[in-house]
Structure 1
Amino acid sequence: MELPTPHALAAMIMTVGVFVAFARGKPSIEIVSLFTIALIGVGLYFYPLPDSLPTDGLALAFAGFGHPALITICALMIMGRGLVVTGALEPAALVLERVWKLNVQLGMLVSLLLALFLSMIVNDTPVLVLLMPIFVALAQRGAMPASKTLIPLNAAVLIGGMATTIGTSTNLLVVGIAQDLGMPQMSVFHYTPIVLMAAAVALPYLWLVMPRLLPDNTPEQTQAVRRFFSHLRVTPSSELAGRHFDEIVDRLHDDFRFEERPKGKFEPGQRFLISGTHDGLESAIRVLRGQVAPSWVIDQIVEQSQQRREDIQVVEMVVTADSRLVGRTLASSGIADRYGVAVLGVHKPRRALLGEEAAPIGPDIRLEEGDVLLVMGLADGIDPFRSTDSLLQLEGVREVPRRSKALLAAAIMFGAVALASVGLPWIGSGGLYLVKVPIAISALAGAIVMFVTGCVKFDRVGRALSAKVIVLVAASIAIGRIVLESGAAGWLGETLALGLQYLPPAGVLMAIMLFVTVLTNFASNATAATVGTPIAFAIATELGLPTEPLVLAVLFGCNLCYATPIAYQTNMLIMAEGNYSFADYVKTGVPLVLIMVTTLSILLVTTYGM
């Protein structure tokens, strides 16, 4: 066995070093990613690969920034932003929320099974793009934190995608290479029972153990939670009208409550003292369709928003000592008339020195220094209100979902998913047939339509994209290419083939799966499939073993990409939403890899009588 070339040796050393740096978390992922790209570019410029120019190394290092995988991820992030800002997924979130309210563990189990079975027939990436915003919304409604659900959800999607030949593009690549090498074509559900049995073994880990290993990265944990008081008026069109309190209590946000309750049914015209957090009040107002501010000012804000195509903003502002509002009531302040904004609620903080609790408000309660107002309006009303009346904005602006475009945003997303999963109807010489559209093209087209229709605005794109994910994707693509083109992947495969001749058939199968799993978590699925499939064929021929189980070992190994965020694009998609570190993937993914490798190896050995 020859020693690896200097380029291959350097590629392997660099890959291990980058993994260690990512796992430690210091320096940050962005710094390590940019340093890796720079190291590859500079190194290949002064020491180029054989039969290549110095500038070819620079092109290899920076190719990730223009790679279809990165374009796809960015486009999917933009479309996901469109679903969030239009509130398109709220109905689905409400349905799942009821299941989660019955029982948290039941909600988690149903969600995992839904993700697993959907990804068997629809490509992994679109499934996760559809489900991820729903689970972020559920976390905001008081369900399990998103950081505890997204990695298990992603793992369930990846396992489901492994179960059919159409589940992922990697499956199609392995099957295609195997067919070119002489193996009979596999049907869509050829090996599905094996994967489903392995999924049944892994499901308890995904369901009960993995969420406990993940941190709670909910931003609200580090912030003081303010409770706002207001008065809710029952309108004739309200969901409250004619109903008893017990009929609507299950639909209320956990952070919302009625401070006053009717003795009988709710009647139009009644006003009740309510309280809740920022999110709780917004959710209750939307679900109950009552009024907490004069209807004329709310209607005016909505009408102006539609005419100008501007977002409605909700902000929290504190009353300072210099404000003219000190000593006034809401009714006498004239806020709505002067600025065209609506005060949805008032938070009166506890007076620490006097030991007083936070007080509820009424029409005659006067505003004091330190009170916090929850204000809704357009920017040209909120900004003068803040500056003229000496208010201090406490936290970033939130946009009220543009629900008039919710159906349009949902249609755009499902259209993009359908193009990538089912195909585009096309009439040709042979009649009507479906043409599969690459996920990069369908996602990019969907993002463009989101912009054109106003579901996502150009000046809000920065909120949809994550710089950490972008540079990490670019670095992982560069690492994958240098591992492949330097000959490191080929050398590792040859070394593996030499050692396997001394192992029993079951050991050969497990070793191939482990090798491909390591390769896919450090390089890419395509690299693992391209290198692993021919190696499996050669080993089967050399050792006189059946070809199909070894090829399936490669296919399964290519899909066991749970241990690093750079292993697959869905891992990258959830990184920003869950605020995950590299170590979170390693901590939860390595045990899952071991469970799946062991279970799948035993099932393959048993099924094929090895």
Structure 2
Amino acid sequence: MYVIETPTPHAIAAMAVTLAMFIAFARGKLSTEIVSLMTIAVIAVGLYFFPLPHTGPTDGLQLAFSGFGHYALITICSLMIMGRGLVVTGALEPAARFLEQVFKVNLQLGLLVSLLLAFCLSMMVNDTPVLVLLLPIFVALAERGAMPASKTLIPLNAAVLIGGMATTIGTSTNLLVVSIARDLGMPQMNVFHYTPIVLAAAVVALPYLWLVMPRLLKDNRSGVTRARRRFVTRLRVPAGSDLVGRHFDEVVERLPNDFRFEQRPNGVFEAGQRLTVSGTHEALEEAIRVLRGQIAPGWVVDKIHRDASVRHDDVHVIEMVVTTDSRIQGRTLATSGIADLYGVAVLGIHKPDRLMKTGPDDPRGDIRLEEGDVLLVMGRAANLEDFANTDGLLQLEGAKVMPRRSRALLAGAIMFGSIALASAGLLPIAISALAGAILMFITGCVKFDRVGRALSGRVIVLVAASIAVGRIILESGAAGWLGEVMASGLQHLPPAAVLAAIMLFVTLLTNFASNATAATVGTPIAFAIADQLGLPREPLILAVLFGCNLCYATPIAYQTNMLIMAEGNYSFGDYLRTGVPLVLIMTATLSGLLVLTYGM
């Protein structure tokens, strides 16, 4: 029978700070960054005036701020930079295009392949970029009459989260748990250390994600679909185009649904031909990629990319509205001189609420520009701003940066090489990830002056605060005391039940507070319970890691849950109704698998 002693004042204070942090995260009145920084400040000031036994005031400051220099944070930031490199170079786009084609074959097959693809991608790439990549595809498919987004986004998010759980680099939380466990004396886990366990659990969960979860979700479409702008432009057929020598019927099946030929050619396509086409921005981009055609003069597009490369700039695509004072009113693109004057390319023209008009004196049938027309314009940011200011156009929100596709293979190779070196045990993950991030900068896959877009300040301060909380919980004796309390209630349970209880405890914290802080509190507690009950440490540490990733039951549990909330028009109840059964399935499956794997 356990005799539980009264916790020390430092342990009580550590638990109070941790509880206050949980409550602040759950209430959501203060931002994550503010709560994290306040937690670090309280720990630093408290330990300065009331140091831990056998330590000085400055030792407390070092403990409070140690997270900012911790190798786990360096690893997380490096992985963020490499993930950004995959996104901005378009390295993940082939997977997205493949997915869209599968959905055209069969909706259920498309959903199954989507779940598997999301799972596999999130094993190697941080789950947030993966969801950001796939989210527009599912929303667009829903707008085209496919499966409603409200029935697909929660299952997709769950697949991403399960995939992220499968490797130590899948999420920042995994790295945090592994790092804390290593600080406590556990051996270092490699990238795929526990992947077979998660793969087996995923096989059990997949039928629920694929067949049951969509049925538990309502069709939340509002009934009013926002029409996306269609741009009319001229498709130019260069000599190297796949159109040359082909008939219209041979290419129409390969084109996106939102792309249309306004002029159907007679006979086969010929080099030098110019045909009027229309489509959304995404459809036009996909069509010219498939057909290897052009929707702007080739010389100006080449000049834009050449200048951007020389000046180390990004190429932007933005929508601009022709205003009353615009110089280009009444002119065509050919007579406006836009490309020569500003070095930008107009990719298409949208004329709202009126028919397309052409001038009677224009034998080529080029479109005359009028007030209210929306132009889709490509160019460097400085040139676009010069064009808008000089010619009286209004820039709309939502500029898109064109992927630097010439470096897509390079970015993929860097990411693969970094993971391979860590997986083979040739380099620690911190070193291989940092080397990969440096290579992303050197090769131009990620620009150094844009690194702020790759890194998340919220994640940085949250991880730093979590490491500080984890250390104070451990060194104050709070972890040992909490371990004794939990062990006294778990001592008569079988190992599978002990693992399930730890997992559910951490899952509860994760869904109502933060998975990072749940990891920092749960890891030392699991360590203490293992010692108290005489159980192997590693499966209990993995129970904490898995529990931190079972964040399906509330929208506040993880950032990707919030990301899909608006697009799917979800309520809190949607997450609860679909997430709780999945939590129970994963907890039961993972607990049993841990017992079998470690022979407990």
TM-score, normalising length: structure 2: 0.78
State whether residues 510 and 553 of structure 1, in contact with CA within 8 Å, keep that contact through their aligned partners in structure 2: no
Listed as ranges, the matches of 1:496-511 within 5 Å are: 496-503=486-493, 507-508=497-498, 510-511=500-501
State whether residues 147 and 214 of structure 1, in contact with CA within 8 Å, keep that contact through their aligned partners in structure 2: no
> 1:299-336: per-residue Cα shift (whole Å, max 9, x none)?
33233334444332222221111111112222221212
Number of aligned positions between the proteins = 561
Question: Which residue number corresponds to residue 156 of structure 1?
Answer: 162
**Corresponding letter in the other structure for 2:414:** I
- Per-residue deviation, 1:399: 2.7
State whether residues 503 and 546 of structure 2, in contact with CA within 8 Å, keep that contact through their aligned partners in structure 1: no
**Corresponding letter in the other structure for 1:392:** L
Distance 1:282 1:116, change over 3 A: closer
- Per-residue deviation, 1:112: 3.6
- Aligned to 2:383, the other structure's residue is in SS state helix
1 CA distance for matches of 2:27 and 2:599? Answer: 43
Identify which of 580, 583, 586 aligns with 1:596.
586
2 CA distance for matches of 1:457 and 1:56? Answer: 38
State whether residues 526 and 540 of structure 2, in contact with CA within 8 Å, keep that contact through their aligned partners in structure 1: no
Distance 1:522 1:230, change over 3 A: closer
Question: Which residue number corresponds to residue 482 of structure 1?
Answer: 472
- Aligned to 1:323, the other structure's residue is in SS state coil
Question: Which residue number corresponds to residue 408 of structure 1?
Answer: 410
- Aligned to 1:560, the other structure's residue is in SS state helix
Distance 1:481 1:301, change over 3 A: same
1 CA distance for matches of 2:194 and 2:40? Answer: 41
- Aligned to 1:561, the other structure's residue is in SS state helix
State whether residues 96 and 137 of structure 2, in contact with CA within 8 Å, keep that contact through their aligned partners in structure 1: yes
Identify which of 200, 203, 206 aligns with 2:206.
203
Listed as ranges, the matches of 1:127-276 within 5 Å are: 135=134, 138=137, 142=141, 148=154, 151-158=157-164, 160-161=166-167, 192=196, 198-207=201-210, 225-262=228-265, 264-276=267-279
2 CA distance for matches of 1:323 and 1:203? Answer: 56
Of 146-155 and 479-488, more deviation after overlay is shown by: 146-155
1 CA distance for matches of 2:179 and 2:461? Answer: 28
**Corresponding letter in the other structure for 2:437:** A
Question: Which residue number corresponds to residue 429 of structure 1?
Answer: none
- Per-residue deviation, 1:344: 0.7
State whether residues 259 and 274 of structure 1, in contact with CA within 8 Å, keep that contact through their aligned partners in structure 2: yes
Distance 1:504 1:74, change over 3 A: closer
1 CA distance for matches of 2:439 and 2:138? Answer: 28
State whether residues 155 and 209 of structure 2, in contact with CA within 8 Å, keep that contact through their aligned partners in structure 1: no
- Aligned to 2:549, the other structure's residue is in SS state coil
2 CA distance for matches of 1:173 and 1:38? Answer: 21
2 CA distance for matches of 1:222 and 1:73? Answer: 39
State whether residues 507 and 549 of structure 2, in contact with CA within 8 Å, keep that contact through their aligned partners in structure 1: no
Q: Does 1:463 align with 2:453?
A: yes
| Identical residues among aligned pairs (%) | 59
> 1:195-251: per-residue Cα shift (whole Å, max 9, x none)?
65543332234445667999999xxx9998432211112223223333344544454
State whether residues 78 and 461 of structure 1, in contact with CA within 8 Å, keep that contact through their aligned partners in structure 2: yes
Question: Which residue number corresponds to residue 375 of structure 2?
Answer: 373
2 CA distance for matches of 1:36 and 1:291? Answer: 55
Question: Which residue number corresponds to residue 91 of structure 1?
Answer: 94
2 CA distance for matches of 1:69 and 1:215? Answer: 40
Of 139-148 and 237-246, more deviation after overlay is shown by: 139-148
Distance 1:390 1:522, change over 3 A: closer
Distance 1:563 1:370, change over 3 A: same
> 1:259-304: per-residue Cα shift (whole Å, max 9, x none)?
3334654333333322222333223223322121222222332333
Of 322-331 and 141-150, more deviation after overlay is shown by: 141-150
2 CA distance for matches of 1:191 and 1:403? Answer: 31
> 1:142-192: per-residue Cα shift (whole Å, max 9, x none)?
586996566323332245449xxxxx7768998999999xxxxxxx99995
1 CA distance for matches of 2:405 and 2:504? Answer: 48
Distance 1:572 1:503, change over 3 A: closer
Identify which of 418, 421, 433 aligns with 1:419.
421
State whether residues 319 and 392 of structure 1, in contact with CA within 8 Å, keep that contact through their aligned partners in structure 2: yes
Distance 1:216 1:482, change over 3 A: farther
1 CA distance for matches of 2:155 and 2:253? Answer: 23
Distance 1:24 1:127, change over 3 A: closer
Distance 1:607 1:30, change over 3 A: closer
- Per-residue deviation, 1:494: 0.6
- Per-residue deviation, 1:523: 4.2
Question: Which residue number corresponds to residue 543 of structure 2?
Answer: 556
Distance 1:16 1:236, change over 3 A: same
Listed as ranges, the matches of 1:438-449 within 5 Å are: 438-449=428-439
- Aligned to 1:260, the other structure's residue is in SS state coil
Question: Which residue number corresponds to residue 463 of structure 2?
Answer: 473
Q: For structure 2, which runs of at least 5 residues remain unmatched after alignment?
A: 143-148, 169-173, 359-363
Question: Which residue number corresponds to residue 361 of structure 2?
Answer: none
- Over aligned residues, Cα RMSD in angstroms? 4.4
1 CA distance for matches of 2:495 and 2:487? Answer: 13
State whether residues 473 and 572 of structure 1, in contact with CA within 8 Å, keep that contact through their aligned partners in structure 2: no
Distance 1:277 1:157, change over 3 A: same
1 CA distance for matches of 2:494 and 2:178? Answer: 27
Question: Which residue number corresponds to residue 321 of structure 2?
Answer: 318
- Per-residue deviation, 1:349: 1.9
2 CA distance for matches of 1:410 and 1:608? Answer: 35
- Aligned to 1:14, the other structure's residue is in SS state helix
Distance 1:116 1:398, change over 3 A: closer
- Per-residue deviation, 1:446: 1.2
TM-score, normalising length: structure 1: 0.77
Of 335-344 and 207-216, more deviation after overlay is shown by: 207-216
Of 18-27 and 551-560, more deviation after overlay is shown by: 551-560
2 CA distance for matches of 1:384 and 1:585? Answer: 48
Question: Which residue number corresponds to residue 483 of structure 2?
Answer: 493
- Per-residue deviation, 1:444: 1.4
2 CA distance for matches of 1:466 and 1:175? Answer: 25
> 1:576-599: per-residue Cα shift (whole Å, max 9, x none)?
976999x89985766543322233
State whether residues 504 and 547 of structure 2, in contact with CA within 8 Å, keep that contact through their aligned partners in structure 1: no
Question: Which residue number corresponds to residue 55 of structure 2?
Answer: 52
**Corresponding letter in the other structure for 1:326:** Q
Distance 1:518 1:536, change over 3 A: farther
Question: Which residue number corresponds to residue 539 of structure 1?
Answer: 533
State whether residues 562 and 585 of structure 1, in contact with CA within 8 Å, keep that contact through their aligned partners in structure 2: no
2 CA distance for matches of 1:205 and 1:501? Answer: 33
Q: For structure 1, which runs of at least 5 residues remain unmatched after alignment?
A: 163-167, 181-187, 351-356, 424-434, 541-546, 566-570
2 CA distance for matches of 1:381 and 1:93? Answer: 31
2 CA distance for matches of 1:330 and 1:91? Answer: 33
